[in-house]
């Protein structure tokens, strides 16, 4: 994995992106995932904007949110009202080397993170490992990161094929440039 560049951090941490996520992206993603409860892992939480939305809409979920960039984790803890929300914990982590036990989570969320992971297939292996049987993997990512530099480039179709190669069953998928996928661990 790679840490974000200075310019990318400015964009990712901007009020513009917060507004985009809060009013367009996350309402759509929340409808896509429905209600979740139990243990949830969020990969690539950044400053915690998406984490807060998931936690607020799913109070019976216990969310562990990780990001490779330690500065983003510090920002999530410092700048967010998470001390008032008991169902979130933040930590630095590498999606290609998750520290969690096998079959630990009912759900894993990847929100615009895998295009930052050069070996995103290794991260898929790790997601499969930490998910419980019949656990759900929800993906929200971009076909081509058209405004930022990415470590990996994939289409939705290619991403789905890789998931199926890893043993996932793709249950639902939509979008072209910005896409959503729901996959289940068999």
Determine the pLDDT at residue 101.
98
Determine the pLDDT at residue 147.
53
Number of domains in the chain: 1
Q: Is the pLDDT of residue 126 over 90?
A: yes
Residue 73 is assigned to a structural domain of this protein: yes
CATH code of residue 62:
3.40.50.150
Share of the chain above pLDDT 70, in %: 88
Residue 1 is assigned to a structural domain of this protein: no
Terminal alpha carbon distance of the chain: 27
User: Which residue range(s) make up the domain with 22?
Assistant: 6-185
Query: pTM (2 decimals)?
Result: 0.89
Q: Tell me phi and psi for residue 67, to 5 degrees.
A: -150, 145
Share of the chain above pLDDT 90, in %: 56
Per-residue tokens: 165: 């190669």
Residue 139 contacts residue 123 (beta carbons within 8 Å): no
Residue 43 contacts residue 128 (beta carbons within 8 Å): no
The string of pLDDT tens digits covering residues 18-60 is 777 777 788 888 899 999 999 999 999 988 888 988 998 899 9
Closest Cα to residue 110, out of 12, 41, 20?
41
Determine the angle formed by the axes of helices 120-130 and 156-165, rounding to 10 degrees: 50
Residue 146's pLDDT band (cuts 50, 70, 90): low
């Amino acid at each position: 994995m790679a840490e974000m560049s200075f310019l990318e951090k400015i964009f990712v941490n901007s009020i513009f992106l917060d507004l985009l996520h809060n009013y367009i992206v996350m309402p759509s993603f929340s409808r896509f995932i429905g209600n979740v409860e139990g243990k949830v892992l969020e990969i690539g939480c950044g400053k915690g904007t998406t984490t807060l939305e998931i936690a607020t809409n799913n109070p019976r979920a216990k969310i562990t949110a990780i990001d490779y960039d330690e500065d983003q984790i510090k920002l999530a803890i410092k700048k967010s009202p998470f001390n008032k929300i008991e169902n979130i914990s933040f930590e630095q982590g590498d999606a290609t080397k998750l520290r969690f036990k096998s079959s630990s989570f009912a759900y894993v969320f990847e929100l615009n993170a895998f295009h930052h992971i050069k070996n995103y297939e290794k991260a898929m292996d790790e997601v499969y490992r930490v998910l419980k049987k019949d656990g759900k993997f929800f993906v929200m990512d971009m076909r081509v990161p058209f405004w930022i530099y990415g470590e990996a480039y994939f289409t939705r179709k290619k991403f789905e094929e890789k998931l199926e190669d890893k043993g996932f069953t793709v249950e639902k998928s939509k979008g072209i440039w910005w896409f959503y996928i729901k996959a289940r661990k068999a």
